[in-house]
Structure 1
Amino acid sequence: MILWRSIWREPRPAGAPPVSRLDWLLVSGFEAAALVEGLARADLAGQPFVTVLAMALTPALLWRRSRPLLACVAGFGVAGVLSVIQLSTRSGDLGLYSMMVVLILLYSLVRWGAGREIALGMPFVAAVVALGMSATSAGGAELVGGSLLLLLIAALAAVFRYRAALWQRQHREIRNQERLALARELHDTVAHHISAIAVQAQAGGVVASSQPLQAAQILAAIESEASRTLAEMRAMVRVLRDDEWDAYAPRLGVADLAGLARTDSSPAIEISLAGAVTRLPAPVDAAIYRLVQEALTNAIRHARSATRVGIEICRVGEVVRVRIADDGLPHPGPGPEPGFGLTGMTERAHLLGGSLAAGPGAEGGWVVEAELPAEVRA
């Protein structure tokens, strides 16, 4: 009962293609085949009525995806009418070989129909097939062979139907993962820029009364930082909204770290690169930039009396080591609770097969250390 309800409520598969030139060619081909067969088999009972009926049925192929139940009922309805005529007149075979078009309509019913359409259409198909077998006085072998053929077509359609549904589900999961990654990028970017704005605003409040010229420069820096934040945020939100992954600007990497080390920033930022770290795979390159950016954001926001933040990136063999440390005062107590930023950093490292650790440094301050593979294996 539960299975029946599940089938009955199942919607039509998404992504049914519209009528195309190939569909018109298919209809034209069957129309021509029916006409040629009707002319070649002039002695067939019921001519020319049978040929006209077959040619009138063929356009139902154009509806097989948009109205699968109607198309299937029309096709097998014509076959049923011929079987009734054959039974009532006790005439010979009335069917043309081109009437096999009804098998395509059966396939389309299972492939593109809703659950209730399949549940209503299949009994009708079975009844018409049984009527046709009776009209032709089919033997046991023909009955079994015909039934197996119909079941094979229905099973093939069901396989393609659920294979497509599985692919769409996997595609949605991939897109959701991409959305999550972009949301993390949005968090990292906005957090970094907002932290820089907050630091500049605090400095502006200190020098506003005594050094108005420097305060004006700080306000200009705040305006520039805010504009960059809005621009990057809008770009990412546009991607999240429109699913235009290719429109997203290239991700920043190790070569762009110099943009984080502004000379007017406090604490001072020093970057040290060692080894071949400028031609890393794109995922590793982007992950290093975001790890450094998030760690730097945390240092600016939380480091107590820090005057320097050291960023060291070194490649040793197939491993890239990243270390970000500040010289701030030790945190009282057990240290801050890990937030979204630290969680995101850890997830980035683990997704690439690396590791990340963060905690108080031996000489004070806060240290973030990560190890990432230099090559991403498929």
Structure 2
Amino acid sequence: MWRDWVLVAGVLIGGVLEVVLSKDVVWPPVALVLAAAIAYALLWRRTHPLQVVVGVFSVLILINTVVLISGSAPFGLYSMICVVLLPYSLLRWASGREVLIGLIFVLVALVTGTASDFPGWGEAVLGGMFLLFPATLGHAARYRRTARLRELDQVRLREREQLARELHDTVAHHVSAIVIRAQAGRAVAATRPEAAVDALDIIETEGTRTLAELRTMVGLLRDDGTAALVPQPGVADLERLARSVGDRPRVQVSMSGDLDNLGPGVGAAIYRIAQESITNAIRHARHATRIDVRLTSYDDSLRLTVHDDGEATSAPGNSLGYGLAGMTERATLLGGTFTAGPGSDRGWSVDVVLPRTAVRR
């Protein structure tokens, strides 16, 4: 990252100034080269945290051992304080076994450094705390990140479960139609053979649509609970959704294009994404007076935009962030795209594009 290069440049500039201006630096060329090497190694602290920790602290252990045996004055630059970033990186990005190995090198370097230049027990304890405190911060950041990812996974699983239920209802409808047509064709086969042939044509059409729907369902998750026995919502329910919100803020729905014969699950996805977007706008858009919901149908796709006129905001908080994760998961499962962010002038905008027929990815 660019911040890493800024850090390297800062360490190099600080080291050069310290060598030039300070009279107390021991072995100035060696100290400057050592500081530059440590700063350059920081560039890999995220991708190879253990290797960087082992390399840097092995050098420090070697230097401390030489100083301890020879009895010479310890050397080093204040700019080498950047090594405190390495315990943070170790606990933040390394695996469990790597953390244990890296901490051994850190502790050995701490002990040899204290022994080579013992400042007193009070300062020694404070120095150890100063070196190890970033490791605590790294562990806390890792725990928070892991918890966040776990919660996002739960959001995705719940969204997949809901979508699987909706797709199940659609497939059940097709299968019921097949059964009814088969019974009707069997009843009239003896007296009206042409009606039986028509029934077979309808069965073939419904069977093809059902197979397509089953392919879409593959990979989706669903628990053993019983789905709610309510009609599946669709684009026709957007007006009712707008009326249920009330007047503050006012929800304005506009729909254009051919909205008939949508693919299975697509209409329900449009409704669910619009519902979640409106709910987020009501909860998080400050001083919003209007929410515009626009649904446009094209030849092979649908586009849904939801925009509010609240005060411009930055990235949403955790609760809204999980809602965005669920909507993104639903759109992706149906082969579409989802984007959300601050509007060009005010408020928050959601933009979704879905194919008229769901395409499993």
**1:47 counterpart = 2:35:** no
In structure 1, how many angstroms separate the alpha carbons of the residues matched to 2:173 and 2:164? Answer: 14
2:62 maps to 81
Report matched runs for 1:73-152 at 5 Å.
Answer: 73-152=54-133
Show structure 2 runs of 5+ residues with no match: 222-230, 246-266, 272-361
The answer to whether structure 1 residue 253 and structure 2 residue 233 are counterparts is yes
Gaps of 5+ in 1: 1-19, 242-250, 258-274, 290-378
> What TM-score comes out, normalization by structure 1 length?
0.56
TM-score (ref. length: structure 2): 0.58
Name the residue aligned to 1:34: 15
CA spacing shift, 1:200–1:227, aligned 2, 3 Å: same
Report the alpha carbon displacement of residue 93 of structure 1 after superposing the two structures with TM: 4.0
Q: SS in structure 2 opposite 1:188?
A: helix
> SS at 2:28's partner residue?
coil
CA contact (8 A) 2:54 2:105 kept: yes
- Sort the Cα spacing of 1:54 and 1:185 in 2 relative to 1 into closer, same or farther, 3 A: same
* Alignment correspondent of 1:159: 140
Aligned residues: 240
Cα distance change on mapping 1:142 and 1:183 into 2, 3 Å: same
- Shifted more, 191-200 versus 206-215: the winner is 206-215
1:36 deviates by 3.4
Show the counterpart of 2:150.
169
When residues 47 and 207 of structure 1 are mapped into structure 2, their CA distance, relative to the original with a 3 A threshold, is: same
Q: What is the aligned partner in structure 2 of residue 227 from structure 1?
A: 208
% identical equivalent positions: 41
**Which position in structure 1 is the counterpart of 2:295?**
none
Residue 41 of structure 2 corresponds to residue 60 of structure 1: yes
Shift, 1:88, TM fit: 4.0
Report matched runs for 1:1-378 at 5 Å: 20-41=1-22, 43-237=24-218, 240=220, 253=233, 279=243
| Structure 1 residue 69, shift from structure 2 partner | 1.6
* Counterpart residue type for residue 44 of structure 1: V
Larger radius of gyration: 1
CA contact (8 A) 2:89 2:138 kept: yes
Instruction: Note if contact 1:44-1:93 (Cα within 8 Å) is conserved in structure 2.
Output: no
Where does residue 370 of structure 1 map in the other structure?
A: none
CA shift for structure 1 position 203? 0.8
**1:151 Cα deviation from its structure 2 partner:** 3.1
The structural deviation recorded for 1:142 is: 1.0
Q: Displacement of 1:125 after TM fit?
A: 1.3
Residue type of the alignment partner of 2:201? A
